[in-house]
Structure 1
Amino acid sequence: MPLDMWWFTGAACSLLTAAAVLLRAGTPGPGAAAAPLPQCVALLRGGRRAAVTVALVALQQRGVVTHGRAGTVRIDGWGTAVRDPLQLAVRTSLRRPAGIRVLLTVPRVQRALEALHDQCAAEGLLRPARRWRTARALLCAVPLTVATGLAITPGSLPQTMASAVPVAGAVALWFVPRQTPAARRLLASLHEAHPLPDRPLRGTASVPRVQMSVALHGDRALELHLPHFARGGGLLGRGSRDGGIAPPEPSSGGVSCGGP
């Protein structure tokens, strides 16, 4: 039986179905009901840069880092022991002053961010990385399959119109966010519970509240609570300067992780 456009349309629909299955949100894990870490909240709201910003804020509050020259952050003291994986990765990457965009390129920081992604995925807040990448590849294949069919075997008008359906479906699924509905509900509830305060929070007891405020409100919270550190360290997202040289990785290296 010779191939006609229906074969290609059917193949495109199969690819679309497989992508839709992969993009289904998972069930929140047992830790999803616990109070989320500010870095996880920042990752959900603003991505990797936001998570590293909160890690820098936490280190600054503990007296470990301060702002340097030309929009960089530098070590100010070792403070207390740092156990959080992302904060530890950021601290050990600051052998020389570096800006936040430089820190985001350091392999050990990237590995810590991957682990944070995995943690959020295990709690049902982000779609798992492998499923996300596979689904996106399948969505890219849908219009390519339809275009190949139209090039090889020009179909009738009904066949051509039918082939537009999986393409439209692929475009719609492309805009499905990496966040799950559970993550959006969590962020909404946290915004309600932690509105941006009218005045800066001060004192030891306010340390976790400042981190959560920055995680939820980004630049506005930085300018309110830590204006000098935010501006001097190049943490603000609007036209901030970001200098520094990427610190060298140790020769022994570490175990690398996969993509985002």
Structure 2
Amino acid sequence: MGTGTWWCAAAACAAWAELLLAAALLRARGAVTGSADAATGPEALALLRGGPRAAVTVALVALHQRGAVAAGRKHTIRANGGPGRTRDPVQLGVHRSLRNALALRALVLRPEARRAVDGLRAELGRAGLLRPPGRRRAARLLLAAAPVTLAAGLLAGAAAGDGPGPALVLAAGVPVLPAAVALWRLPPATRAARRLLSELRDRHPLPAHRCEVTDGRLVRLYVALYGDPALALFLPRFSRDGGLFDRRPPDGH
């Protein structure tokens, strides 16, 4: 086996090792006893479905139901009094962030709101429902490195002049890129989290009319599970004026 072939083989082995290590980092850990209770709150369910923005949106809905926040000018949210009787850390963090009227995108990035959401994210990670952010970042570095490692080995083999034939290069290298892309696109929520959300949607289909729901907690649950369609159904004016919709609000709202 020539020097070029060795370079190519070593690079392929290194690239696959990086992929396997990334897959191990992305593998969901088992749920810790008692931590699964963190997933029962609407803010937690929203975080599993749509990330920090969705969790902050549900917190704003809860605060709005108590009169603690209102829509401001130019699609912003402003405080409208104290947070009321709540011990929910995300709601409290969001309310403390509203010293001035803020757009939802800016509110999500405020330190108080971000710390509260990060704490909830950590709970869900311990419960095996979210992939820990640190592990995801490390895995993505490895995934980005794998094609580079392979390409460097192939170039070194070609420079040596006695590298492997095209068939061997294709067999060893072509699967690296799709495998890296597939692992990169894994969502933060684990399979257990997606199963939980699916089961809850089956048990709580979105009603056709807002008058069918009078319980404020159920409204928050629907917003957590469905996002924009639930906002448009239950809180169309507040969601439109406060800029809560992820996308343009449906016609008629």
Shorter chain as denominator, the TM-score bin is 0.7 to 0.9
Q: Is the contact made by 2:7 and 2:154 (CA closer than 8 Å) also made in structure 1?
A: no
Written as runs of structure 1 = structure 2, the 5 A alignment for 1:38-117 is 38-78=42-82, 80-117=84-121
Written as runs of structure 1 = structure 2, the 5 A alignment for 1:116-195 is 116-154=120-158, 155-156=163-164, 157-161=166-170, 162-195=172-205
Following superposition, the deviation at residue 82 of structure 1 comes to 3.3
Q: Is the contact made by 2:42 and 2:220 (CA closer than 8 Å) also made in structure 1?
A: yes
Question: What's the secondary structure of 1:90's corresponding residue?
Answer: helix
Q: Is the contact made by 2:97 and 2:111 (CA closer than 8 Å) also made in structure 1?
A: no
- In the superposition, the TM-score normalised over structure 2's length comes to 0.88
For residues 150-187 of structure 1, give each alpha carbon's deviation from its aligned partner in whole angstroms, at most 9, with x where no partner exists.
Answer: 12222322441212233332222222222111001100
1:229 aligns with 2:238: yes
Q: Is the contact made by 1:90 and 1:103 (CA closer than 8 Å) also made in structure 2?
A: yes
**Gap runs ≥5 in structure 2:** none
Tell me the C-alpha RMSD between the 2 structures: 1.9
Question: What's the secondary structure of 1:4's corresponding residue?
Answer: helix
1:208 aligns with 2:212: no
Letter in 1 for 2:246: G
- Give the equivalent residue in structure 1 for 2:33: 30
Q: Distance in 2 between matches of 1:22 and 1:187?
A: 23
Q: Distance in 2 between matches of 1:159 and 1:147?
A: 14
Structure 1 residues 27-36 or 138-147, which shifts more?
Answer: 27-36
Q: Distance in 2 between matches of 1:32 and 1:193?
A: 22
Following superposition, the deviation at residue 22 of structure 1 comes to 1.1
Following superposition, the deviation at residue 124 of structure 1 comes to 0.8
Query: Whose helix fraction is larger, Structure 1's or Structure 2's?
Result: 2
Q: Distance in 2 between matches of 1:198 and 1:172?
A: 37
Q: Distance in 2 between matches of 1:13 and 1:51?
A: 36
Question: What's the secondary structure of 1:50's corresponding residue?
Answer: helix
Written as runs of structure 1 = structure 2, the 5 A alignment for 1:236-255 is 236-239=245-248
Letter in 1 for 2:114: Q
- In the superposition, the TM-score normalised over structure 1's length comes to 0.86
